[in-house]
Amino acid sequence: MPEVESQAASVLTYPVTRKGDVVDTYFGVQVADPYRWLEDDRSAETEAWVKAQNKATQGYLEQVPYKDKIATVVKNLLNYERISAPFTEGDYTYFYKNDGLQNQSVVYRQKGEGEPQVFIDPNKLSDDGTVSLAGLSFSNDGSLAAYLTSTGGSDWRELYVIDTNTMEKVDTKLVDLKFTGVSWYKNEGFYYSSYDKPEGSELSEKTDQHKVYYHKMGTAQKDDIAIFGHTEDQKHRYVGAEVSDDNQYLMISAANSTSGNRAYLKNLNDTNATWITVKESIESDVYLLTNKGEDLYLATNYQAPNSKIVKVKASAPNVENWQDVVSETENVLSPSTAGGYIFAEYMVDAISKVFQYTLDGEQVREIALPDIGTAGSFAGKQKATTTYFTFSNYTTPTTIYSYDITTGKTALFNKPASAFDGSQYVSKQVFYTSKDGTKVPMIITQHKDAKLDGSSPTILYGYGGFNVSLTPQFSSTVAAWLELGGSYAVANIRGGGEYGKAWHKAGTQLQKQNVFDDFIAAAEYLIDNKYTSSKHLALRGGSNGGLLVGAVANQRPDLAAVALPAVGVMDMLRYHTFTAGAGWAYDYGTAEQSKEMFEYLKAYSPVHTVKSGVEYPATLVTTADHDDRVVPAHSFKYAAMLQANHTGTSPTLIRIETDAGHGAGTPISKTIEQYADIYGFTLYNLGVKNL
């Protein structure tokens, strides 16, 4: 256990942030936006502000005496071989592997029992590891592969096609793809999605009409065929295409937000075929799971908030004809298929249970899992006889098992040799009561000898939105926090998907305060039960979770000593005006929606609820200058507001990663630096004297 004492930080002098005179009017109410100028990510003034803030932050962090030790711990726990679940394409088995400290994982392949060979090494795509592999898709026979790359963590992609036999690039490079999968039609071509490239900043300009194209091999990108989303009546913010396993059908998913979609189907064997509506209502979700001839198998939460699997004929696929194959249960379903079977993973209080079903809906068996935690993958071709699954929890590094689809026999395939000794730590699930009486689960992980005396430096992590479920997963950086003497708690608050659609909706729009109340109640449970105390507690979350931390820190500045909002959505009155932000309106609502919605958003928006003369927690806002998902202006404006209004000696700083995005594809080298700073700041402001 680290030695803890009270540490008074010296009063900081922050860089001067100019205040502008921008005022917006919503329903007759004037709202000042003094830092609007920080939204211009291409201006010299913003660039100078970023440099000044980073200099101030690094100057503060230099006084943390054990930052180098933290970096060493993080580095050591990341330095072990990690591989993904294998998958078969053509004559080869493919998998991702990281030797330990490689900036990006490498794609390998092997034929039969032969030696694995490097297939794609993203580390060779750039000198500093900032170009990452962002997607990989194979043609039907595995002879061609399309891979996507991202530069600096951007959501914009480039696409390359290679011949998997010669390893040579074939065909033209495609550019300016965004929020896309790649779905092959035989070996002839593939479907992909993108937006028109914005005229202004591609990092922040609004993009709201997604379009599906078909690229035929051997043709130029300018000649790609418009498939869906190009007309006004087909306009949606998110559109994707999926070709059925037998190349007979094309299914389009069209959505305006991150929840709910329309679906349309076309028979690719009929040159005169037109779009057939599968589901017109946009209030629920549906996607193609697999098909067997004309029988389509769909996963949906239509009239089934916890999801189910239905079967329908492709000739008449609309909802009136759907037949249940695997009916809805009280637990949330996440299905996949392999070897002609359905694998149904259920969340039971955020813990995995997995069952195997026939395509007729007959249960074959429950799959025995090695422990309490999260299982995943269970994917494969229709003719596969073996599938692989991953298993992990907060103390077990991701382990891979093979599974015989016919016999149900499970065998250990790969157990990583992590330096982390999980046997020294315990995870415990508790249920606590939120403000309105709702029972909420939380998993607390700490050293097995930790004392419940309120002294443990503790990070409380949450997300609470977009139907995202926080299930037990191993993270080397979380393991580092545990090894540094900390405790780690994850609250499964409303807004997430742990208990299905109802749990999600209970944390959206005019019910968003439930999310913050659940998180506050989680912190109070940890304090009341002596897992920690306010002066030893840090709040952490990213993206929508960054909003969570900002809102809670503003509402209850006394709750925790440290706040760590990462890449957060902080300006709730303007979030929908940037990039694809308008697609988040299902969860948030918008300021233009109604006077009631405007007032509700303004009442919790982190940028708008910072008050002068209040002592806020020590805050380290983190973002990246190339984040085009949640633009960095959110974090810039929040940090500026805190620095202008906060009283007391606790620091309110911002750390702005350069040449990085929302988080995906972050090089290992940057990850080590980030966590040395974040954990150093946290422990220092929780009163840890030495480690």
pLDDT at 557: 98
C-alpha to C-alpha distances, 642 to 216, 256, 330, 682, nearest whole angstrom: 52, 34, 44, 18
Distance CA 429, CA 287 (A): 32
Looking at residue 628, its pLDDT comes to: 58
User: How does residue 442 score in pLDDT terms, banded at 50, 70 and 90?
Assistant: very high
Mean pLDDT of 486-500: 97
- Which pLDDT score is estimated for 428? 97
pLDDT tens digit string along 350-374? Answer: 999 999 999 999 999 999 999 999 9
Burial class (CB in 10 A: 0-12, 13-18, 19+), 29: exposed
H or E segment and range at residue 424:
none
Residue holding tokens 């405007």?
A: 598
> Per-residue pLDDT averaged across 508-534, rounded?
98
CA distance 272 to 259: 32
Q: In what side-by-side order are the strands of the sheet with 262-267?
A: 238-243, 249-255, 262-267, 276-279
pLDDT score of 579: 76
Q: Are 434 and 352 in contact (CB under 8 A)?
A: no
Buried (b) or exposed (e) across 153-189, using 16+ Cβ within 10 A?
Answer: bbbbbbbbbbebeeeeeebbebeebbbbebbbbeeeb
* pLDDT above 70: residue 2: no
Q: Check residue 263 and give its pLDDT.
A: 98
pLDDT at 200 over 70: no
- pLDDT band for 8, please (50, 70, 90 cuts): very low
What pLDDT does residue 664 have? 56
pLDDT at residue 204 is higher than 60: no
* Predicted model pTM: 0.89
Indicate the range of 102-116, 131-145, 196-210, 261-275 predicted with least confidence: 196-210
Percent of the chain at pLDDT above 90?
87
Residue with more model confidence, 201 or 544: 544
Q: Check pLDDT > 60 for residue 611.
A: yes
Longest CA–CA span in the chain (Å) reads 76
Q: Is residue 415 over pLDDT 60? A: yes
Indicate if 536 belongs to the active site: no
Q: Is 543 a residue of the active site?
A: yes
Q: Write down the H helix ranges in 495-645.
A: 501-505, 513-528, 544-555, 585-588, 595-604, 633-645
| Antiparallel, parallel or unpaired: β 652-657 and 458-461 | unpaired
Question: Between the CA of residue 587 and those of 155, 201, 364, 565, what are the distances in Å?
Answer: 21, 26, 38, 19
Q: Using 50, 70 and 90 to split pLDDT, how confident is the model at 624?
A: confident
Angstrom distances, CA of residue 200 to CA of 33, 209, 298: 21, 16, 40
Taking 50 as the threshold, does the pLDDT of residue 513 lie above it?
A: yes
pLDDT value, residue 629:
63
Residues in the chain: 691
Identify the pLDDT of residue 1: 42
Residue where the block lists tokens 């250990």: 412
| Spatial distance between the Cα atoms of 26 and 296, rounded to a whole number of angstroms | 47
Catalytic residue among 215, 504, 646, 662: 662
Say whether pLDDT at 206 is over 70.
no
The mean pLDDT value for 188-198 works out to 92
DSSP state of 554: H
Selecting among 543, 605, 635, 650, the annotated active-site residue is 543
pLDDT at residue 211 above 70? yes
Residue with tokens 């030893």: 536
- pLDDT for the residue 661: 53
Least confident of 5-14, 149-158, 387-396: 5-14
Band of pLDDT at residue 279, cut at 50, 70 and 90 = very high
For the chain, give the mean pLDDT: 93
For residue 494, give the nearest of 527, 525, 469, 526 by alpha carbon.
469
Query: Kind of pairing, strands 92-98 and 106-110?
Result: antiparallel
**Calpha distance 261→258 (Å, rounded):** 9
Decide if pLDDT at 7 tops 60.
no
Percent of all residues in the chain with a pLDDT value above 70, rounded to a whole number: 96
8 A C-beta contact, residue 283 and residue 260: yes
Quickly state the pLDDT bin for 58 (edges 50, 70, 90): very high
Provide the pLDDT confidence category of residue 468 given band limits of 50, 70 and 90.
very high
CA distances (Å), origin 441, targets 543, 545, 619: 21, 17, 26
Q: Where are the beta strands (DSSP E) in 322-421?
A: 323-326, 332-338, 341-348, 351-357, 363-367, 374-377, 386-393, 396-404, 410-414
Query: Does the pLDDT of residue 306 top 60, yes or no?
Result: yes
Higher pLDDT, 42 or 633: 633
How far apart are alpha carbons 112 and 88 in whole angstroms?
11
Identify whether the C-beta of residue 376 lies closer than 8 Å to the C-beta of residue 346. Answer: no
Instruction: Quote the pLDDT of residue 191.
Output: 98
Which residue type sits at 479? A
DSSP 70-112: HHHHHHHHH-S-EEPPPEEETTEEEEEEE-SS-SSPEEEEE-T
Q: Is 118 helix (H, G, I), strand (E, B) or coil?
A: strand
> Can you tell me the distance from the alpha carbon of 12 to that of 57, in angstroms, rounded to the nearest whole number?
10
- Higher pLDDT: 279 or 202? It is 279
CB burial of 496-530 (b: ≥16 within 10 Å; e: otherwise) equals bbbbbbebbbbbbbeebbbbbbbbbbbbbbbbeee
Per-residue pLDDT of 541-599, as tens digits, reads 999 999 999 999 999 999 999 999 999 999 999 999 987 788 899 999 999 999 999 99
| pLDDT band at residue 16 using 50, 70 and 90 as cut-offs | very high
Could you read off the pLDDT of 97-134 as tens digits, one per residue?
A: 999 999 889 999 999 889 999 999 999 998 877 788 99
Is residue 205's pLDDT more than 80?
A: no
Q: What is the pLDDT of residue 341?
A: 98
* Predicted pLDDT of residue 318: 97
Q: How far is CA 389 from CA 134, 376, 437, in A?
A: 21, 5, 37
131-138: strand order across its sheet: 131-138, 144-151, 156-163, 169-178
